[in-house]
């Protein structure tokens, strides 16, 4: 059950999970909205979507530290998951996660396509064109993508 998440979760809706929230400690993994009535997961802070009823999770994001697992867009407004950098889709409002991709390493567990997109290794070599330039398709010609004998579960296309 989620206490103080802004939704009534108690059976038969006795509302007790959402009472007294202004006194409630949200703990280490959640953050208390400015109005004190709601806890949200910390990764929802500065993700460019409003999660607090009062909108406070998207305020003061320029001063906000995105932490180790997230990356701050160049405009300093949004934090995105590190593996969303150079994945071919813009998560940053300023699209800064999809520029200069040739100079950036992919996150761990991701493979760099010829066009510099980063694709999850586990998604490679299933016949789909995950790289968008078909560079991940090379593997099927070499039959090197059997899910065995490699660190990541798959051999990588070269
Ligand atoms: Ca609740
Ligand atoms: Ca948010
Ligand atoms: Ca992206």
Cα(42) to centroid(ligand 1), Å? 16
Contact between 115 and 133 (Cβ < 8 Å): yes
Residues 50-69: tens digit of each pLDDT: 999 999 999 999 999 998 88
Q: Ligand nearest 48 Cα, by number? A: 2
Ion ligand 3: residues, Cβ under 5 Å: 84, 87, 89, 91, 97
What's the confidence (pLDDT) of residue 141? 43
Q: Which residue has the tokens 């010829």?
A: 114
Q: Ligand nearest 6 Cα, by number? A: 1
Which contacts of 139-143 are long-range, i.e. CB under 8 A and separated by 24 or more positions? none
Secondary structure (DSSP) of 64-130: ----SSEEE-TTSS-EEEGGGTTSSS--STT-GGGSSGGGSPPPTTEEE-TTS-EEEGGGTTSSS-T
Task: Determine whether domain 1-57 maps to CATH 1.10.3470.
Answer: no
Residues 69-92: tens digit of each pLDDT: 899 999 999 999 988 888 888 999
Ranges for all domains in the chain classified under CATH 4.10.400.10:
105-155
Ion ligand 2: residues, Cβ under 5 Å: 44, 47, 49, 51, 57
Q: Ligand nearest 77 Cα, by number? A: 2
Cα(79) to centroid(ligand 3), Å? 11
Contact between 110 and 82 (Cβ < 8 Å): no
Cα(135) to centroid(ligand 1), Å? 46
What's the confidence (pLDDT) of residue 153? 44
Q: How many CB atoms lie within 10 A of CB 66?
A: 20
Residues 86-144: tens digit of each pLDDT: 888 899 999 999 999 888 888 777 878 888 888 877 777 666 677 776 666 665 444 44
- Superfamily designation of domain 105-155: Low-density Lipoprotein Receptor (4.10.400.10)
pTM, two decimals, is: 0.68
Q: Ligand nearest 14 Cα, by number? A: 1
Contact between 115 and 132 (Cβ < 8 Å): yes
The answer to whether residue 47 scores a pLDDT higher than 70 is yes
Output b/e per residue, 97-120; b: 16+ Cβ within 10 A. Answer: bbeebeeeebbeebbbbeebbbbe
Q: Ligand nearest 80 Cα, by number? A: 3
């Amino acid at each position: 059950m989620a206490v103080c998440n802004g939704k009534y979760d108690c059976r038969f809706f006795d509302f007790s999970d959402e009472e007294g929230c202004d006194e409630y400690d949200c703990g280490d993994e959640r953050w208390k909205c400015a109005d004190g009535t709601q806890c949200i997961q910390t990764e929802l802070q500065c993700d460019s979507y409003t999660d607090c009823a009062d909108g406070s999770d998207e305020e003061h994001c320029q001063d906000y530290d995105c932490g180790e697992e997230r990356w701050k867009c160049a405009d300093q407004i949004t934090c995105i998951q590190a593996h969303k950098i150079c994945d071919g889709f813009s998560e940053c409002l300023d699209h800064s996660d999809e520029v200069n991709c040739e100079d950036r390493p992919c996150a761990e567990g991701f493979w760099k396509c010829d066009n510099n997109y980063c694709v999850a290794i586990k998604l490679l070599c299933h016949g789909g064109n995950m790289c968008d330039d078909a560079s991940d398709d090379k593997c099927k010609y070499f039959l090197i993508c059997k899910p065995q004998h490699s660190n990541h579960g798959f051999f990588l296309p070269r």
